[in-house]
Amino acid sequence: MTDLKQLPLRAVHAAHGAKFVPFAGFDMPVQYAAGVMAEHKHTRDKAGLFDVSHMGQVLLPLGADAALERLVPVDVIGLKGGRQRYGLFTNDAGGVLDDLMIARRAGDLFLVVNAARRDHDIAHLRATIDGVTEVTDRALLALQGPQAEAALARLLPEVTAMRFMDVAQIGWQGAELWVSRSGYTGEDGFEISVPTDRAEEIASTLLAMEEVLPIGLGARDSLRLEAGLHLYGQDLAEDISPIEAGLTWAINKIRRKGGAREGGFPGADRILDEMENGAPRRRVGLRPEGRAPMRASVPLFAAPEGGAQVGVVTSGGFGPTLGAPIAMALVDSAVPPGATLYGEVRGKRLPAAQTGLPFYTPTYKR
């Protein structure tokens, strides 16, 4: 027996040869018959379909925009209709409770939150906002890659007019689909919220297209790592500030010092101070020498022997597009940007060069 939740598309995944692993309380497909490397490259070259139904979908009344603003360092009030914005729930200590997407639609605010934080986030919202509704009757798919538009446009011609971070509600054969032009791979693509009872039909229709393959968690992780995108619980956490995490850009101008609605979110004093005066740690990219990957929690040092720990790998693995190991890390701000770092892997310190992020330049349709 298992307590793991099942995805609505479980049968579709199994039919495509999926291997399953536990993730955020769900039985999730980690890879299919093609394997992680092939799935990764297929998404970069053509189009990959991801089942992200484990993510939380939440609706708020339009009038809750000001209340939501008190929980995030984001301009929610000024978010235009038909647009989506990346946001962060922060805590009083200036750390990150979760990252999320916020969309303003004609009749509501639509939020997508991380699976592992769904219950926490909904309780966090309900503590201060009335009318919070968890969406429980819809699946969530992500179609990603340079041929994603061509594939989805066969079903929904309207998507060709959408730009990065546009959102739309589009009818398809009697079902209302909630579409955003976004994703978490560094590629152009879409996230599509579909009624659960139509999810298998829509997924099977897309997977029947020559350019579309099903993609599992393994390739999702390597794709987002190459794109320098955060994973909550590793690159973001309650003890990591947005500035340390390299997310200064996500603090909208109107909420910064001197902005019309400066501060007013949890941890604002620390976060705004770090924006002005610097943070104790900074996020860096790493290119380990050789072929051995440096994975999350590998300690980092400034010298091949001796000395105190100066950082930690937050995410790491092999980058199929680069053909080499890559990693993201948090290091002490006193560490010179050009200095070689040494990750301790199985008792041996291996050198890694600091590098800018992302490793792979995103191809979003602006």
Report, as an integer, the average pLDDT of 19-42: 97
Q: Which CATH superfamily is domain 5-55+136-226 in?
A: Probable tRNA modification gtpase trme; domain 1 (3.30.1360.120)
Average pLDDT of the residues of the chain: 97
Cis bond upstream, residue 8 (ω within 30): no
The pLDDT-based confidence of 147 (bands split at 50, 70, 90) is very high
Cα 105 from chain centre: 21
Q: Which CATH number is 280-366 given?
A: 2.40.30.110
Q: In the chain, pLDDT over 70 holds for what percent of residues? A: 99
* pTM value surpassing 0.85: yes
Q: What pLDDT, in 10s, does the model give residues 293-321?
A: 999 999 999 999 999 999 999 999 999 99
Beta strands in the chain (DSSP E): 5-6, 19-23, 26-31, 47-51, 56-60, 83-90, 96-104, 109-113, 133-135, 138-144, 167-172, 175-180, 189-195, 212-214, 281-288, 299-301, 309-319, 324-332, 341-345, 348-355
User: What span, in angstroms and rounded, lies between the C-alpha atoms of 347 and 344?
Assistant: 6
Query: Do 62 and 110 contact (CB within 8 A), yes or no?
Result: no
- What is the four-CA torsion angle of 6, 179, 202, 23, rounded to 10 degrees? -20
Hey, what are 304's tokens? 């091949």
**Over 80: is that where the pLDDT of 2 sits?**
no
Buried b vs exposed e over 97-135: b needs ≥16 C-beta within 10 Å? bbbbbbbbbeebbbbbbbbbbbeebbebbeeebeebebb
The reply to whether domains 5-55+136-226 and 280-366 share a CATH topology is no
Report, as an integer, the average pLDDT of 234-242: 98
User: What span, in angstroms and rounded, lies between the C-alpha atoms of 358 and 96?
Assistant: 21
What does the domain layout of the chain look like in residue ranges? 5-55+136-226, 280-366
